[in-house]
Amino acid sequence: MGMSQAQVHTVSVDGWSRILVRTTRLWSLSSPTRCPCGPSPCSPFTLCIPLLDQKNSATIHEESRQPCKGLINANRFDDFGLKDTAKCFSECARSGNESCNLGNLQRYWLNYEIHLAEESLTETVNMGFLTALVKNISTSISEDLHFSLTPSQVPKQVTEDEHQHPDRVRLPRSLFESLQGSRPMVRLAITILDVGSGNVFKGPQLSLEDGSSVLNNHVVGLSLGHINVTGLAEPLEITFSHQHQPPNMTLSCVFWDVTKGSLSSSPGSSGDWSSKGCSTEFGVNRTICRCDHLTFFALLLRPVLDQVTVKALTRISQAGCGTSMIFLAFTIVLYAVLRFSRQRFKFEDAPKIHVALSVSLFLLNLAFFINVGHGLKGSDAACWARGAVFHYFLLCAFTWMGLEAFHLYLLVIKVFNTYVGHYFLKLSLVGWGLPALIVIGTGSANSYGPYAIRDKKNTTTLELCWFCEKTATSALYVTVHGYFLITFLFSAVVLGLVALKIFTLSSATAGKEKGQHWKGVLTLLGLSSLVGVTWGLAILTPLGLSTTYVFALFTSLQETSSPDSQRHARMEVLKEKVEEEEEAERAERGEKMMRPMEVRKEETIMTQEMLRDLERKLSEIEVSIPEKPSTFTKDAIDISKLPLSYQSNTPKEEHLLQVADNFSRQYSHLCPDRVPLFLHPVNECDVPKFVSTTIRPTLMPYPELYNWDTCAQFVSDFLSVVPLPDPLKPPSYLYSSTTVLKYQKGNCFDFSTLLCSMLIGARYDAYCVYGYGSQDLCHMDLTREVCPLTVKPKEMVKEEEKAPPKKYAVKPPRDLTSRFEQEQEIKRQEAIKAEEERRLKQEEERLVEQESAKTDPLHGLRVHSWVLVLSGKREVPESFFIDPFTGRSYSTQDDHFLGIESLWNHKNYWVNMQDCWNCCKDLVFDLGDSVRWEYLLLGTDKPLLSLTEEEDDGTNDDDDVENLGKEDEDKSFDMPCSWVEQIEISPEAFETRCPNGKKVIQYKRAKLEKWAPYLNNNGLVCRLTTYEDLECTKTLEIKEWFQNREDMLELKHINKVTGLNIDYFKPGHPQALRVHSYTSMQPEMDRVMEFYETARVDGLIKREETPRTMTEYYQGRPDLLSYRHVNFGPRIKKLALNSAESNPRPVVKITEQFFRNPAKPADEDVAERVFLILDERIQLRYHCRKDRITASKRGAHGAHQEASLPARGHDEAEERGEVVQASGLGVRAGGAGDPEASGGRGGGACADHLHLRHQAQREEQGVSGGHGARDARGTPVAGGGPAGLPGPVSGTAPTGREADALAGRAPQG
């Protein structure tokens, strides 16, 4: 059978003709005819996709299977074909591979994009290297389409609200509207392809740029099949997320343009990346690409320099090169003069090499000035010549630097047998000839031409003649970068060997000459500039712009160093070589008998000289490790006035010292691995004293020192810390507590002894401990600890009792807020709280890592002393430690305490026999257990061992008890009395507390300052400053404590963030003030005052003031007043006396509220009274009866009674005297002389105050009408004038409760 007809479709995608042959019928299986493949008349290239039978397909397998050639899987888009072709991403490396055809591979993936949109039946593809989505899109959509482009997930359509994904694409609806006339539906294919780090989809230009790459190796493809989409009016948007890029790198949006590669002539190339029709919008962690067509897109990462940086580097280079040319010219001229004046310059090779390097550098700088100055001016031949000359002199400079290193090797390393005939001539042939050969070879390949440096916006910032930017990049890397790398490595190796020689000689002659190391360092600096090591900074330029600036500065200022550096190095090495040669010659001449004697003599002489020099140097060294603190030594103590017990020992004390020595020897013999015990250090008179006798139990006469916490805090504040002379050993001295108190200084053992003496005197079971502590504990470093004053106590939430609901109470209005919004708000608040907790946790973890990184090399070896308080006495429930430096208590399980050697009190001494591998956490403090604690003396008061029942039964043997008693009597020894005088603290010293009256403690994010009482004039005794950061630079708040103030101020809290100040007062303030909150002390500012209500006559408990209002709260008043709110108006402008007192704020409104008076009916008991000053009205509201819904109201100016009174006739109301008189403001609320009819209460003080103020205002305003009638107490009872409260303007004067209500006082009678 013959071949059926085939349909050929020509599709133009992205500006290139792609021919796809689709076969509509299968070839006959029996036909051996192959599919004719050839170019189509309408296109330069045709892809033929025949379906072969099994016999024809076998011909492909006969050849070697090479899928990266792109032929075997050309039109095979199943899973196997995709995976087989994807292997080429890694196999086709950047360096190239003969088995890879990049053009075919790239065409394969371009065809696969069309295959997905036209023929694929699957909607999604999810592979490790490829994810794709195929979706039918209506051309009549009403909004833009959004798709997510997460590389690890299949693309999916998202709504407009959900399109804020890190990677996404937006397709405008105008794209599909333009296709409505041709078809109602189109198929859209979106692919995300991971192209790896190979050459596929890299392009010719990208492969030539050093450091350029496709961001994350991800390529995004968008296609509508055969439909050509170009020139969109509204571009599509693709958003790529990424990390923050270095400042010298730029990102650019590109698409794969196949028109840049000839598909027929160059099968190894099928396009390149192009930015035509695409724009780039940069963000912090994202980049938005906008393009007007559909194809493959990517984000390229390229190294660039912006225009400002290029100009700055150019100016630095020009200035440095100009300066270098001046000195280089001076060097050349100086050599020319010396060559004719001195003979040795004619024959020495070293100056000639220096001058040759100077000439090459001078010509290189000159060529640089010419090249940068002219740019691309002139013809192409002139540009070619400038580039070649610049390249030649650059290579000459590199070559002469390498020859300088070679000459240095001969001078310093080899030294002998270094003669070479015509040495400088041969060096000149290499120095000038080798670069010429390289330039000739490079120029023959037409590699020189225009070169441009572009910035991030792809605009040219600098143009010069150099290597051609597009065709000769490889030549640049080989002839410049590679050549320099070889010379630099050789120079660096030689310089390293020279440095080794120089410093070896300097160490050998360190005792004979001074400054050898400095001379060696200066010599190396000169030699490094000579051999061009400064050019090695080019390797560090990718680290950032700073290294680029340093590189430009040092290389442009490079000059030849003085020959003195080479001469100095050569003379030192030559001297060593001569000595070695002489020794070798003596050995060869047979001086076997004399040489050993000479060698011994020389060795003896050298050893003595070295010893003398060493002794002299050691004598000059000052070692600052005093045995005792310089600020608290024995010389500073006046021992002339000390009692006799300080200067000698009694026979009993001598006996005790002998017992202690015997115990120490036995302990050292039985426990040789343990450190010596701290038993009998010397005191301030150099007399050894047993440590237990240094404790003098004393009960202080101050009540504050009776409890352990205040006692420990006093010791911590009163003494200054003196560190131990040796942190690994206990001190050799232990001063008395009286001396320590006198000088207010001491180490940890002095602190513990004093504190233990005071605690035992206060009836605590306290002991001094000798052990090991952490570095923070030994150095009193609290920067990692939280200040105890910053820890807030847990607040107890009191449950409020809900009042029983009233029967006729009005139901509250329905809550119309959305539950969904409330839940969302709760979730948002929880998310904010969780984020804050996470941030704090991360900060704490970071701090812990930083602290753990600072390991203490002496961890577990630092000696420290503290106090142990055992449970039992003084109702101490649990044993605990006290650090005497800080006065803080710690659990016996705390990690700061690493081990215990021994402990003692005023009666005995105990040695710890337990293992401290787990610090002190597993220690049992049962001092009666002789297995765990070995005691020194018998017959002393010590805790009894807790025995088991079996052991208790065994102790009932009378004989054993009697024998044990006799044994103890024989071995018992009474502890001598303490040799320390009675501890006394004078009242002045007790009040002073801190040394010099002040002490500062630094905590974690806090600083605590303490002062002695009466030291500061304002009574300040303590200040706590908390900070936001660990460096303590940003202040959050300040708390200040005061004592002995007349205004009884106790605490001031200043919030630096909000500016709020809160003052707390103790009882006794003249105004009974308790708390005062304010932001400014200026008058008429916001403030809140709280009072001690029991200390005030008026029952005022709180007052809140603003510039326009004043609110007061009362409690316990006889008139049951509970609340008063005053509104002020603006002041009246006056020409003079405009102060707050002379021009008070006018009162506009006064509102008073009262508690319920059970002695009166509810509808006659006033609940609220409102004075409207400007309207001259009074409004009264009564309490509501239980069987009523609303309360009664009354008021002036036609006062009425609303909705609370039961409906009754006018006559009945008239009989009760409740007829309202509407004449003026007079309110007839009861009969004449009926004081009980008034609903008014108290407030007389307010009425009098307001009366005086309004009277003054009316007199100033000229209001007529007199002062109104007043009763016997002077309270106004009628309107018509400036009374204390606004009264009626006209009409009869109110009487009885009406007058009382209008006057604002309690009813008479």
**pLDDT tens, position by position, 443-501:** 888 888 888 776 655 566 778 888 886 666 678 888 888 898 898 899 889 888 888 88
> What's the rounded Cα separation, in Å, for the pair 963 and 945?
19
User: What is the C-alpha R_g of the chain?
Assistant: 50
**Two tokens at 453?**
């440096």
pLDDT in tens, 1048-1062: 999 999 999 999 999
pLDDT value, residue 1141: 59
Supply φ then ψ for residue 763, to 5 degrees: 70, 30
Band (1137; pLDDT cuts 50, 70, 90): low
Which one, of 64, 192, 173, lies nearest residue 127 by Cα? 192
The pLDDT-based confidence of 1135 (bands split at 50, 70, 90) is low
Q: Which amino acid is at 404?
A: E
**Mean pLDDT score of the chain, rounded to an integer?**
74
Of 580-584, 1116-1120, 1222-1226, 1299-1303, give the range with the top mean pLDDT: 1116-1120
Check residue 610 and give its pLDDT.
Answer: 62
* pLDDT band, very low/low/confident/very high, at 1186 (cuts 50, 70, 90): confident
Two structure tokens written together for 1041: 């404590």
User: For residue 870, what pLDDT is reported?
Assistant: 94
Encoded tokens for 916: 């401290």
The answer to whether residue 644 scores a pLDDT higher than 70 is yes
Give 537-590 pLDDT, tens digit per residue.
Answer: 666 665 556 667 776 776 766 654 444 444 444 444 444 454 555 555 555 554
| Residue-level pLDDT at 1086 | 92
Greater model confidence, 917 or 604? 917
Per-residue DSSP letters for 297-340? EEEEEEE---HHHHHHHHHHHHHHHHHHHHHHHHHHHHHHHHHH
Q: What are the phi and psi torsion angles at 357 (to 5°)?
A: -65, -40
What the block records as the tokens of 634 is: 């024995």
Asked whether residue 197 carries a pLDDT value surpassing 90, the answer given is no
pLDDT of res. 264: 35
CA angle 555, 556, 558 (to 5 degrees): 65
Whole-number percent of the chain with pLDDT over 90: 24
> Using the 8-state DSSP alphabet, how is residue 478 labeled?
I
Model pLDDT for residues 932-990, shown as the tens digit of each residue = 999 888 755 555 444 444 444 444 444 443 443 444 444 456 788 999 999 999 888 88
Of 244-253, 337-346, 583-592, 963-972, the one with minimum mean pLDDT is: 963-972
How many Cβ atoms are within 10 Å of 720's Cβ, its own excluded? 15
The mean pLDDT value for 119-127 works out to 84
- pLDDT the model gives residue 149: 86
User: Which alpha helices (DSSP H) does 880-1031 contain, by range?
Assistant: 949-954, 958-971, 987-992
b/e per residue 915-943 (b: at least 16 CB within 10 A): ebeebbeebebebebeebbbbbbeebebe
**Alpha helices for 509-650 (secondary structure H):** 516-530, 545-556, 563-588, 594-620, 644-647
Question: 1163 vs 809, which has greater pLDDT?
Answer: 1163
pLDDT of res. 542: 59
Q: Does residue 827 surpass a pLDDT of 90?
A: yes
pLDDT attached to residue 56: 40
- pLDDT value at position 1268? 37
Q: Which helix (H) or strand (E) holds 423?
A: helix 423-428
State the pLDDT confidence band at 930, using cuts at 50, 70 and 90: confident
Q: Which residue has the tokens 């969109």?
A: 232
Q: For residues 36 and 17, give the distance between their C-alpha atoms in angstroms, rounded to a whole number.
A: 20
Q: Is the pLDDT of residue 1288 over 90?
A: no
Most confident of 85-89, 829-833, 968-972: 829-833
- Over residues 158-180, the mean pLDDT reads 79
- Show Cβ contacts of residue 85 under 8 Å, excluding neighbours closer than 6 positions: 67, 70, 73, 105, 108, 109
pLDDT, greater one: 1158 or 505: 1158
**Residues 1235-1258, mean pLDDT to the nearest whole number:** 40
pLDDT at 422: 86
Q: Taking a C-beta distance cutoff of 8 angstroms, is the pair 94, 261 a contact?
A: no
For the ranges 665-679, 981-995, 1215-1229, the lowest mean pLDDT is seen at: 1215-1229
In the predicted model, what is the mean pLDDT of residues 994-1009?
Answer: 85
Tokens describing residue 53: 């039978």
For residue 595, is pLDDT > 70? no
Q: Say which residue, 1303 or 479, is predicted with more confidence.
A: 479
Confidence of residue 389 (pLDDT cuts 50, 70, 90): very high
How far is the C-alpha of 871 from the C-alpha of 766, rounded, in Å? Answer: 9
Question: Is the pLDDT assigned to residue 396 strictly greater than 80?
Answer: yes
Mean pLDDT is lowest, of 254-268, 705-719, 1212-1226, for: 1212-1226
For the segment 40-80, what is each residue's pLDDT rounded down to a tens digit? 333 333 333 333 333 344 434 434 467 787 777 777 788 88
Q: What is the pLDDT of residue 602?
A: 39
Contact residues for 115 (Cβ-Cβ < 8 A; gap 6+)? 77
Query: What whole-number distance in Å separates Cα of residue 1292 and Cα of residue 1302?
Result: 13
The model's confidence at residue 512, banded by pLDDT at 50, 70 and 90, is very low
Segment 1014-1033, tens digit of pLDDT:
888 899 999 999 998 878 88
Contact 1035, 1043 (CB under 8 A): no
724 or 997, which is more confident?
724
In Å, how far are 582, 1078, 1090, 1094 from 1047, measured between CA atoms? 96, 17, 15, 18
How confident is the model at residue 451, as a pLDDT? 81
Which pLDDT tens digit goes with each residue over 800-822? 666 666 666 667 788 788 888 88
Lowest mean pLDDT among 176-185, 597-606, 661-670, 721-730: 597-606
The predicted pLDDT at position 625 comes to 39
Question: Using one digit for the tens of pLDDT, what is the confidence trace for 847-903?
Answer: 766 665 567 778 888 999 999 999 989 989 999 999 999 899 999 999 889 999 999
Alpha carbon distance 361, 1225 (integer Å) = 109
Tell me the backbone φ, ψ of residue 1224, rounded to 5 degrees. Answer: 60, -130
Position 947 scores a pLDDT of 42
Share of the chain above pLDDT 70, in %: 68
pLDDT digits (tens, 9 = 90+) for 1059-1097: 999 999 999 998 999 999 999 888 888 999 999 988 999
